[in-house]
Amino acid sequence: MREESLKLRPYLDETGVMIGLEIHVQLNKLNTKIFCGCPLDYHDDGPNTHTCPVCLGLPGSLPVINRKAVEYSIKVGLALNCSIEEHTQFYRKNYYYPDLPKGFQITQYDYPIASSGYINIEGEDGEVRVRINRAHMEEDPGRLVHEGGSIERSKYTLIDYNRSGVALLEIVTEPDIRSPKEARRFLDKLRNILGYLDVVDTTLEGSMRVDANISLSGGSRSEVKNISSHKGAERALLFEIVRQKNLLRRGGKVVQETRHFDEARGVTVSLRTKEEAHDYRYFPEADLVSLKVADWAPGIAKTLPELPDARRQRFITHYSITDDHAKSLTSEKQVADFYEQVAAEVDPKLAAVWIADVLKGELNYRDLGIDAFASASMVQLVKLLAGDKITEQSGVEVIRTILDEGGTPDEVVAAKGLLKAGSDLVTAAVEEAIAENPGAVEDYQNGKQEAVNFLMGQVMKKTKGRADAKEVRKMIIQRV
């Protein structure tokens, strides 16, 4: 199998960059929190409105595991090619922080729900495999709101426990990533897979939070926390590489430490060194019984959807489209679904070109999702193009107009008169242009190529741009 032929990354370049990521994924598509029945639809409500004795950690309250959260976690584990443990167990991670109402976080330690998986990504040197060490479940702490914007400037801090107890899945990779760009690609791929699984709404703030471990050869590892976007991850890592390189070049030492990423300034600052590291005193959470999850996995495996890599392969073979197009079309589940709806009605190759190369670009430019464009409109547009009814240039204009002003392709074409001019009309316009501009004709005959462009402009003016530029050029050259 192709998958199996992928070897572990053997190389390190001269800087020896090694990056490992820890991604906290909020399972925010669940109805309720991980250990209580509080609903997750708190984003439009005021602070501390979605709480109960359990997620507030009131004395005497006890956690009860959300079965669906376990199922979602197994689903992600399987999609990341992990093995699901026979038994899974919760632990307490003991530390004090104002967002943590119990003084400990319920998480996993030994016996995480999933372990030893991998994701393949487009690396600096072709497709590479990034191994997943483990994925474990835990509870999100509350959210601190620093009045005044930052810890430094605020006079006091408020705590919102609506987020307290939201199910998190922490995915930990091996240090198989070799560059900030690869880190970003890994995160994009992971987000794509999670989107396919329908377990997380990645558009919600804080739904994917990243900590990155990075080291250069000859130095210790630093952990960068507080990265909230994929772009942020790339920037934070770039900064760290430069910082560590400079330190090493000057004969300094990179110490093992935890650093904080200041997104606004694009820098990392030291939070604590190894000596100040916490001893979390992990020990089993006796309030939750161990779960025999091995029995759950086969049933959940059956519910797994087709994942991006498999879908990409199918697109290539089934629709005979290029690898690049297939990759682009499957990088987001909604886009792939959109493509398949269109490809069912029209030429799949032409549809791939117009969706992957044109529509996605126009959407990105406007920061819009695929839902901003109706698949029926794309079908109509591809039919117009396939039937040679409009020019490619007009096709782009149709897409732009629909995104900016609305309407259907037929409506836009009619309103703007974009239907290709008939050949009689074009021939007549060419004749007219030649008759009206003998000077230009002469120039061309004397070897002045630019004269053709002038004549083409005249023809386009007469046909109001509805003529195919290539054809017009051909006709003019033939005539003169």
Partner 1 sequence: MITVSQTLEAIQDSSAEEVVSQCIDRIEASKFNTFITVAKESALEVAGETEGHTSPLAGVPIAIKDNISTKGIQTTCASRILGGYVPPYDAHVIERLKEAGAVIVGKVNMDEFAMGTSTETSHYGPTLNPWNTETVPGGSSGGSAATIAAGEVPLALGSDTGGSVRCPASFCGVVGLKPTYGVISRYGLISYANSLEQIGPIASNVADMTLLFNVIAGHDQRDSTSVPGEKDYTKALVDDVKGLTIGVPKEYFGDGLDQAVEKSVWDSVHRLEDLGASWQEVEMPRTKYALAAYYVIAMSEASSNLARFDGMRYGLRLEKDHDWHTTYSEIRAQGFGEEVKRRILLGTYALSAGYMDKYYLKALKVRTLIKQDFERALKSTDVLIAPTMPTPAFKLGEKISDPLTLYMADVNTVPVNLSGVPSVSLPCGFSNGLPIGLQIMGKHFDEKTIIRTAYTFEQNTNFHTKAPEVV
Residue number, 258 or 401, with CB nearest to partner 1: 258
Site for partner 1 (CB under 8 A): how many residues? 27
Binding window for partner 1 (CB under 8 A); candidates: 39-47, 213-221, 275-283, 396-404: 275-283
When the beta carbons of 288 and 390 are compared against partner 1, the nearer one is 288
Please identify, among the stretches 3-11, 164-172, 280-288, 379-387, the one whose residues bind partner 1 according to the rule CB under 8 A.
280-288
Closest CA to 260 of 248, 272, 242: 272
Can you state the angle between helices 308-319 and 323-330, rounded to 10 degrees?
140
Residue whose CB is less far from partner 1, 264 or 286: 286
Which CB sits closer to partner 1, 56 or 241? 56
For the CB of residue 53, give the shortest distance to partner 1 in the complex, in Å: 5
Residue 245: partners with Cβ closer than 8 Å, 6 or more residues away: 15, 216
Binds partner 1 by CB under 8 A, chosen from 288, 353, 356, 455: 288
| Binding residues among 127-186 for partner 1 as defined by CB under 8 A | 159
Q: How many CB atoms are located within 10 Å of the residue 310 CB?
A: 12
Least Å from the CB of residue 36 to partner 1: 9
Q: For residue 22, give both structure tokens.
A: 């820890």
For the bound state, the minimum distance from the C-beta of residue 95 to partner 1, rounded and expressed in Å, comes to: 9
CB of 48 or CB of 313, closer to partner 1: 48
Distance CA 359, CA 376 (A): 14
The CB-of-11 to partner 1 minimum distance in angstroms stands at 35
Q: x/- string (CB under 8 A) for partner 1, residues 92-131? A: x-x-x-x--xxxx---------------------------
The reply to whether 321 sits near partner 1 by the rule CB under 8 A is: no
**Member of 31, 149, 242, 283 binding partner 1 (CB under 8 A):** 283
CA distance 422 to 389: 10
Q: Pick the piece of the chain touching partner 1 (CB under 8 A) from 75-83, 130-138, 287-295, 322-330.
A: 287-295
- What is the distance between the alpha carbons of residues 199 and 480, in angstroms, rounded to a whole number? 65
What minimum distance in Å lies between the beta carbon of 161 and partner 1? 9
Pairing state between β 167-173 and 257-262:
unpaired
Cα gap 355→324, rounded to integer Å: 12
Least distance from C-beta 257 to partner 1, angstroms?
A: 18
CB-wise, 283 or 365, nearer to partner 1?
283
Q: How far is the CB of 63 from partner 1 (least distance, A)?
A: 7
In angstroms, the CA 259 to CA 274 distance is 11
Binders of partner 1 among residues 322 to 341 (CB under 8 A) are none
Cβ proximity to partner 1: between 90 and 373 the closer is 90
Rounded Cα distance, 190 and 332, in Å: 11
Question: With CB under 8 A as the contact rule, which of the stretches 4-12, 90-98, 314-322, 372-380 interacts with partner 1?
Answer: 90-98
List binders of partner 1 among 31-50 (CB under 8 A): none
Cβ 252 to partner 1 shortest distance, Å: 29
Nearest Cα to Cα of residue 244 among 254, 232, 233: 254
Q: Residue 155 — φ and ψ, nearest 5°?
A: -85, -30
What's the min distance (Å) between Cβ of 198 and partner 1? 27
User: What is the residue whose two structure tokens read 């959470």?
Assistant: 285
String marking each residue 52-81 x if it binds partner 1 according to CB under 8 A: -x--xxxxxxxxxx----------------
Can you give the binding site for partner 1, defined by CB under 8 A?
53, 56-65, 92, 94, 96, 98, 101-104, 159, 279, 281, 283, 286-289
